[in-house]
Structure 1
Amino acid sequence: MIEKMKFLSITGPKEDIDRVIDTYLSRYEIHLENALSELKTVQDLRPYVETNPYKDILQRAFELVELLPPGEIFQTSQKKLSVAQAADIIEEIGKEAEERKAREEELVSKRDSLKESVERILPFTGLNYDLSSILHFKYIKFRFGRITHEYYEKFENYVYDTIDTVLYKCKEDEQYVWLVYFVPETISNRIDAIYASMHFERIDVPDEYKGTPYEASQSLEESMKAVQTEINDIRKQLSVLLETRREDLLAAKDRLETFSTNFNVRKLAACTKQSRNTFYILCGWMSQRDADAFQKDISDDEKTFCIVEDDQENIMSNPPTKLLNPGIFKPFEMFIRMYGLPAYNEIDPTILIGLTYSFLFGFMFGDVGQGLCLLFGGLLLYRYKKISLAAILSCCGFFSTIFGFLFGSIFGFEDVIHAVWLRPMKHMTELPFIGRLNTVFIVAVSLGMGIILLTMILNMVNSFRFRDPERTFFDTNGLAGFIFYASLVLTIVLYMTGNPIPAATLLVLMFGVPLLIMFFKEPLTNLVERKARIMPKEKGMFVVQGFFELFEVLLSYFSNTLSFVRVGAFAVSHAAMMEVVLMLSGHETGTVNWLVVVLGNLFVCGMEGLIVGIQVLRLEYYELFSRFYRGTGRAFKPYGKKL
């Protein structure tokens, strides 16, 4: 069902808008519309343009809340604050937190610098010589760096003994050799060029180390640990600060968030242009219940006025759709939203899909044991996880259990309980002209015919509400199509049951007249709508196109009806698959392998349950919805009351 909506125009003094939003609108669900768009015929209106003063302070509040210890971030506070108090709390906490964050950033920078120094000197810890002495040589130049193994071997074998240099290897890994070489200052440029030709990568070592490289690295690591300890202390202090002020912080954040959201309502509001006594105007949709409660709530408020517009012709926007269904059918709204929400004046198919989906699923998957597993498994999953699909599965399990009793099947065993109705694989029916046919196929097709006729009736209702005469009276799913298909169903039923068929003249009226109406649906629609041109200009093309469209209609009636054969086919295949499982378990020999029975039931329940669910959804969308449902509605998006 779709909840009834009312269109409201709320107005009052411009400076009073925040009070009205906070006092009233935050307690009701209202779908706001752009007031300027809705009030195009009203003169002297302008946009309500102001900068949100809560934006920056709210951003700061969010940043502080993110710093709260884990597990506390998403809790809320019941403490009530004014917006000024909330801003003061954020400023106060933010100032204290900022001092600690600044100190933390300073220490992090220092730690990173020490880490960089350690990483720079670590490869040279094999050099057992005081770094400060090396860095202050007067006549000898030094170079720290690395070279690949390939070029190191070439240098050592062919170059090293021919030049005036001392090379000290410090460390090596899979790719590089880390080394230091010394050279007299007078020939340093020539030697540096030779090393460069060997792809020597020089590393600058600043004058900041004391002792040997190993001693320097140890000293730096100790300093880095001390800085990290100080960083941890600062973070702990910040955590303690935020924890002690947690309730104030969350309350302030919630209050600022509410006022920021309220302030953003101005984007949809309009203002009068008078220099004095300026008024705001808000427009939107409320449910009839909320609208009545809201009007009663503001009846004693001298500054707030509300007008309810009942004439849809005076409203620019279409009402949004708010679904209101019984709790047991609410999970099926998921399928409706996947296809498209119904328009406000359209039939809500939620209850229809809830009944037909569960019923068809149960027919195709009839088993007491597996049905109970789906029923209680889905129920538990929905209770703890609130997954809509789990609730749908539970409803399907209920109908599977019912059909399990009708078919006499429990976990595939057909010799445990008596079949209340029939055995899907064994029960046959003798039909004229056709011969012996499985009964479940006949029942499935009969169900399909009934569902198709029902959807045609729903299409006529929907089309009448949309004031669409073509789809109401002349369409293949309208009155003409309904009469033709109902006549066809009646004739088939009479023939198959051995009853006399209506006379030829009556059959011509039953079939011929509806077909002619569907053939001439375009001219008839033009006639009803009183258009100037009744017949199309290209009459020959109209006849050819109408003939092929009529042929396609007849073909679609046949194919859509036969599409429901799959319902019976899956009922038979389910019984056949369980028969195979029992055969593999040795049931026929009298010694049952229960492990095979359990695994087989799990496999069939999982695989066939998924396939049946998809097939039933396909029937719903393509055989039911395509006949009557448009799904062109827009969702009701409430501002205010938090759901």
Structure 2
Amino acid sequence: MEFSPPEHDDKPPSLINRSIFLEPFGRIVDSFGFPSYNEIDPTLFVMFSFMLLFGFMFGDMGHGLILLIADLIIYSIKDKIDVNSDLIRYVINGSTLYIICGVSSILCGLLFGEFLGYKIDIFNFNLILPYPFNISFPFRPLDNPIAMLKLSILIGAVHVSSGIILNLANKILNKEYIKAVIEPIPWICMYIGIIYNVFCFKLDFAAWLGSPTLYMLVILPMCIMLLGKLYIERQEGLIQFFESMISTVSNTVSYLRIMALSLSHSILTHMILEFGGGGLASSFSWRNFCSNA
């Protein structure tokens, strides 16, 4: 066996230690690629983003509490259970993930003011996201779908922006300062400008043209990013620029699935309450919903 000194371009191996609650999310990260030596491990970010997405799609304090209690029971006895079924073993081994899901459902259910489908207000609080978002909590997705629409876009914007910021941090750690200046920095400025204009003016593009934020936060960073990529990467940089623009818009729009799944969860819950005899106690009437549809 021979050992040779490392070359100048050799990359050192990575050793990442994750806690038991981060391990399920670490598998997700590793399926896309293992973080290199000079990169930030995004597992913690993935955990919080997963909690955020799942919680708002399954936001109900009662349902989250049931999920949490069931998962705590499974977690407490998982070392004592010997099963042959791969499916059951998979469920048992993922108990820490389900505990996190239960907690996130409870917290987001508090923001929605729902417990097992019933409208409640335990803490009598009022949280308002300021202009230009204008989202007031607590609200029920079925009672205020426009607020749920805006919340879904906002969550997508925060999620995508966080990924761009991680990209910026990794480039700085790898001393790729020029790439950091021409890509993630103008990218995040441009993205924030687009989201700001969407919330302020919606799709009124005439109002967009009259806003200075369009030129300062969207067009100027876009030009910097485009010219920088053309200068460094030539034709390939142009292709990457348009791919980045298209993927950013499409990824943000895809977060509308949060609204779709949240509404589906609420509708199914209220259907069960209505046909089970509990719908009269809820502020939601399925008959009125159907008659107004």
In structure 2, what is the equivalent of residue 112 of structure 1?
none
- Partner of residue 113, structure 2: 408
Distance change (3 Å), C-alpha of 1:359 and 1:505: closer
Describe how 1:244-643 pairs up with structure 2 within 5 A: 318-385=11-78, 387-414=92-119, 421-427=138-144, 438-468=146-176, 471-475=179-183, 478-495=184-201, 507-525=214-232, 542=235, 546=238, 550-588=241-279
Corresponding position: 1:36 with 2:2? yes
- Deviation digits for residues 199-230 of structure 1 (CA, Å, limit 9, x no counterpart): xxxxxxxxxxxxxxxxxxxxxxxxxxxxxxxx
Q: Distance in 1 between matches of 2:10 and 2:38?
A: 13
Richer in strand (by share): 1
Tell me the TM-score normalised to structure 2 length: 0.72
Over aligned residue pairs, what C-alpha RMSD do you find? 3.3
Q: Which residue of 1 aligns with 2:285?
A: none
Return 329-338 or 548-557, whichever deviates more: 548-557
Do the aligned residues in 2 keep the contact of 1:37 with 1:316 (CA within 8 Å)?
no
Q: Give the Cα–Cα distance (whole angstroms) in 2 for the partners of residues 418 and 458 of structure 1.
A: 36
Counterpart Cα distance in 2 of 1:554 and 1:340:
23
1:586-627 Cα shifts (integer Å, max 9, x gaps): 33468xxxxxxxxxxxxxxxxxxxxxxxxxxxxxxxxxxxxx
Matching residue's letter, 1:36: E
Give CA-to-partner distance per residue, 1:138-175, whole Å, 9 cap, x none: xxxxxxxxxxxxxxxxxxxxxxxxxxxxxxxxxxxxxx
> Please, which moves more after superposition, 410-419 or 510-519?
410-419
Contact kept? 1:473, 1:479, Cα under 8 Å: yes
Deviation at residue 506 of structure 1 after TM alignment? 6.2
Q: Is the 8 A contact 2:197 2:213 kept in 1?
A: no
* 3-state SS, counterpart of residue 463 of structure 1: helix
The 1:388–1:469 alpha-carbon spacing in structure 2 relative to 1, beyond 3 Å, is farther
Aligned residues: 253
The unaligned stretches of length 5 or more in structure 2 are: 80-91, 126-137, 282-293
Aligned pairs for 1:127-142 (under 5 A) are none
- Give the whole-Å Cα distance in 2 for the aligned partners of 1:333 and 1:469: 28
1:480, 1:518 within 8 Å by CA — same for their partners in 2?
A: yes
Work out the CA distance in 1 between the residues paired with 2:41 and 2:117. Answer: 38
Structure index of larger Rg:
1
- Partner SS for 1:321: coil
Q: Distance in 2 between matches of 1:320 and 1:554?
A: 33
Distance (whole Å) between structure 2 residues aligned to residue 404 and residue 518 of structure 1: 41
8 Å CA contact retained: 1:334, 1:388: no
Q: What per-residue deviation string (whole Å, max 9, x for no partner) do you get for residues 327-368 of structure 1?
A: 543443232233332112111111111111112211110122
Q: Per the alignment, in what secondary structure is the counterpart of residue 319 of structure 1? A: coil
Report deviation, 1:425.
Answer: 0.4
1:212-251 alignment, distance < 5 Å: none
The CA deviation string for residues 255-286 of structure 1, in whole angstroms up to 9 with x for no partner, is: xxxxxxxxxxxxxxxxxxxxxxxxxxxxxxxx
The residue type equivalent to 1:426 in the other structure is D
Amino acid aligned to 2:142: M
Alignment of 1:111-260 (within 5 A): none
1:404 to partner: Cα distance: 2.0
Partner of residue 290, structure 2: none
Task: Say whether the 8 Å CA contact 2:14–2:35 is kept in structure 1.
Answer: yes
Query: What corresponds to 1:285 in structure 2?
Result: none
Q: Distance in 1 between matches of 2:251 and 2:212?
A: 28
- Aligned residues of 1:378 and 1:394 also touching (Cα < 8 A): yes
**3-state DSSP class of the match of 1:38?**
coil
* Contact 1:368–1:400 (Cα < 8 Å) also in 2: yes
Larger proportion of helix: 2
For 2:107 and 2:58, locate their aligned partners in 1 and report how far apart those are by CA, in whole Å. 10
SS in 2 for 1:36: coil
Aligned to 2:135: none
8 Å Cα contact 1:332-1:353 kept in structure 2: yes
Secondary structure of 2:114 counterpart: coil
Give, in whole Å, the separation in 1 of the partners of 2:152 and 2:232: 36
Structure 2 Cα separation of the partners of residues 505 and 471 of structure 1: 27
Residues 390, 453 of structure 1: alpha-carbon distance in 2 compared, 3 angstrom cutoff: same
1:398-434 superposed Cα distances (whole Å, 9 cap, x missing partner): 1111222322322233369688611110025xxxxxx
Gapped regions of structure 1 (runs ≥ 5)? 1-34, 40-312, 429-437, 527-535, 537-541, 591-643
For the residues of structure 2 that align with 1:341 and 1:506, how far apart are their CA atoms? 38
- The CA distance in 2 between the partners of 1:549 and 1:329, in whole Å, is 32
- Secondary structure of the structure 1 residue equivalent to 2:2: helix
- Which residue of the partner structure matches residue 280 of structure 1? none
Change (3 A) 1:419 1:560: farther
Letter in 2 for 1:483: C
